[in-house]
Amino acid sequence: MKESWKKPLLFLFGISLSNIGDWIYLIALNLIVLDMTGSPLAVAALYILKPLAALCTNFWAGTIIDRLNQRNLMSGLDVMRAVLIFILPSLSSVGLIYAVVFLINMGSSIFEPASMTYITKWIPSENRKRFNSLRSLLDSGGFLLGPAVAGLLFMLGTPHMALYVNALTFLGSGWITLLLPKLEDASVKQEHLSLGLLKQDWTVVLRFSRNFPYVMAVYFLFSLMMVMAAALDSLEAVFSKEVLQLSDTEYGFLVSIAGFGIAAGAVVNILFAHKMTTSFLIGMGSLFVSFGYIIYAFSTHFTVAAIGFIVLAFSLAFANTGFHTFYQERVPVHVMGRVASIYGLIEAFFIISATISIGAAAEFVSIQLAVIVGAFMMLVVTGVLCFISFHTAKHFAGKLEEREALKA
């Protein structure tokens, strides 16, 4: 293995630790809250806390991400989340649990754009597509291993013990992050957080959006696709139980199939992504994700639903690799944190709105009809995204040819 890949692989290992920890935390917390309250609604409220935390965090998070050292920030956030998760088992009030979970989600809302900025600074452009493919593979590994590890911990102990193990995974991730290069940027001015600074940074993002409408159109449409995916996924369990009439075991197997689909897509991605254009990965990958959801939406038994899950999960690996690479190539690294945070704020608002809307439609009209309508809305979004992403690629290729002609 080349020396240049040793630390990136170490970083990916740290990310995979966090991913496995996230699944342990999510499953254990669901069981703890359900045991305390006996209310499925109380458990569902946990899923709304994440976008709510983004709404409260993202309007200022980008300002600190672009001005602080991202490596130290990521490590500090991992330690903070570890401490908060360690506290959770000792809490006897559901209200206090929600408050701590909200703080944990705030940390996660800052961590994601910070890690993207750090990766873009650190990984050379020619290696980013392969790095993003490897990250997609490890994300799918967390999807498969996380629930399995959680189940093993529940057999050996309790959900509370699982949370303690989860806290250790975040501490391990934070320690690994500190072993990475610091990447100091002497050009960044240290400024105190203020309303004036926030206004200035919002203006920077708005100006960038106006100057690069093609880039931001792709960014916004991909985010909209993920919003629709989050809304549809919120009905996944009830759709499987009420429409497909699956047992708990069959539903668990269906979720595992999705994990294998992502893993298979990620492996193919690693082998062939360097031969595919970024516009192809993001455009066609996203389009086939919506095709998978449509197959799933029209399914009436396990086999068809499984085919839909395989198609959407396999394609999602390509779409994510394409989007991450596109973002790293098109958005300047010095404004990356602010762009991701502010657009993440908009995405969080849409996730809450879409989840409530599709949930209400399922409640008052029909579960399957709600999923079908949501899947077709996603198809429209991804169709436009596919067209725009290829158009954007041609646009930038044309600009590059113009520059080369001027140089000649």
The pLDDT assigned to 34 comes to: 75
The pLDDT assigned to 403 comes to: 45
Q: How confident is the model at residue 289 (pLDDT cuts 50, 70, 90)?
A: very high
**Domain map (residue ranges) of the chain:** 1-179, 201-408
Mean pLDDT of 287-296: 94
**pLDDT value at 166 more than 90:** no
Q: How far apart are CA 215 and CA 329, in angstroms?
A: 10
**pLDDT value at 1 more than 50:** no
**pLDDT value at 405 more than 50:** no
CATH 1.20.1250.20 fits 1-179, yes or no: yes
Asked whether this chain's domains 1-179 and 201-408 adopt the same fold, the reply is yes
**pLDDT value at 171 more than 80:** yes
The pLDDT assigned to 395 comes to: 61
Q: Domain 201-408 carries which CATH code?
A: 1.20.1250.20
Handedness of CA 249, 230, 356, 94 (dihedral sign): positive
Q: How confident is the model at residue 185 (pLDDT cuts 50, 70, 90)?
A: low
Mean pLDDT of 73-102: 91
Q: How confident is the model at residue 284 (pLDDT cuts 50, 70, 90)?
A: very high
**CA trace torsion 206, 211, 215, 216 (10° rounding):** 20
Mean pLDDT of the chain: 81
Query: Percent of the chain beyond pLDDT 90?
Result: 17
